[in-house]
């Protein structure tokens, strides 16, 4: 069973994000600059509509849970609700803040690799092992290689180079 309040909130947010983005795109005067983001927003609205349809169809199967919902997960774990992972989420927000401020100094690719790797390590609820950390490092390296090929090679975007490049 799923949580009704959580699903209603998710559906509302998924509608709000593309609507706000489309509203913000109206400020851009060059039509070519907003062509691609506009259709991405339309695609997100279609997906949000499918999500809302699924919610409406299965509303009778959804059970409410006791408040406050922001402190508990909706699915039971070993007979009781799992507490919200405040420490992991706080560490992830801290990593994002450090990443944003370190990008200019360290460089986009090195700081992106470190951010992605540390995020994978922090957000994993299991204890880190050397083999698992190695796999996550390879995944982060592959991800940043794809970002490099996409942005620097294919699109020719100028990125913050910092001390790394």
Angle between helices 31-57 and 4-25 (to 10 degrees): 160
The residue segments making up the domain with residue 151 are 86-155
User: Are 125 and 75 contained in the same domain?
Assistant: no
Task: Identify the residue with better confidence: 74 or 152.
Answer: 152
Q: What are phi and psi of 85, to 5 degrees?
A: -80, 75
**Is residue 122 domain-resident?**
yes
Task: Output the pLDDT for position 82.
Answer: 58
Quick one: what percent of the chain has pLDDT higher than 70? 80
CA distances from 48 to 4, 44, 54, 72 (A): 16, 6, 10, 24
User: Are 137 and 93 contained in the same domain?
Assistant: yes
Residue 65 pLDDT > 60, yes or no? Answer: no
User: Are 74 and 116 contained in the same domain?
Assistant: no
Residue 39 pLDDT > 70, yes or no? Answer: yes
Task: Report how many domains make up the chain.
Answer: 2
- The whole-number average pLDDT for the span 119-139 is 87
- The whole-number average pLDDT for the span 34-38 is 82
User: Are 62 and 95 contained in the same domain?
Assistant: no
**Is residue 160 domain-resident?**
no
Question: For the segment 68-112, what is each residue's pLDDT rounded down to a tens digit?
Answer: 544 444 444 555 555 667 787 788 889 989 988 888 888 888 888
User: Are 100 and 148 contained in the same domain?
Assistant: yes
User: Are 108 and 139 contained in the same domain?
Assistant: yes
User: Are 19 and 63 contained in the same domain?
Assistant: yes
């Amino acid at each position: 069973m799923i949580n009704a309040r959580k699903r209603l909130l998710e559906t509302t947010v998924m509608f709000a994000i593309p609507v706000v983005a489309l509203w913000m795109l109206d400020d851009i005067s060059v039509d070519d600059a907003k062509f691609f983001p506009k259709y991405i927003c339309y695609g997100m609205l279609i997906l949000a509509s499918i999500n809302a349809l699924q919610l409406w169809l299965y509303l009778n199967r959804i059970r409410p849970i006791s408040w406050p919902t922001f402190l508990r997960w909706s699915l039971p774990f070993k007979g009781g609700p799992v507490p919200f992972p405040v420490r992991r989420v706080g560490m992830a927000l801290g990593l994002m803040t450090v990443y944003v401020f370190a990008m200019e100094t360290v460089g986009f690719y090195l700081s992106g690799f470190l951010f992605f790797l540390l995020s994978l390590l922090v957000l994993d609820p299991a204890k880190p092992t050397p083999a698992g950390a190695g796999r996550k490092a390879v995944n982060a390296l592959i991800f940043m290689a794809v970002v490099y090929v996409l942005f620097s090679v294919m699109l020719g975007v100028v990125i913050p180079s910092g001390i790394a490049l």
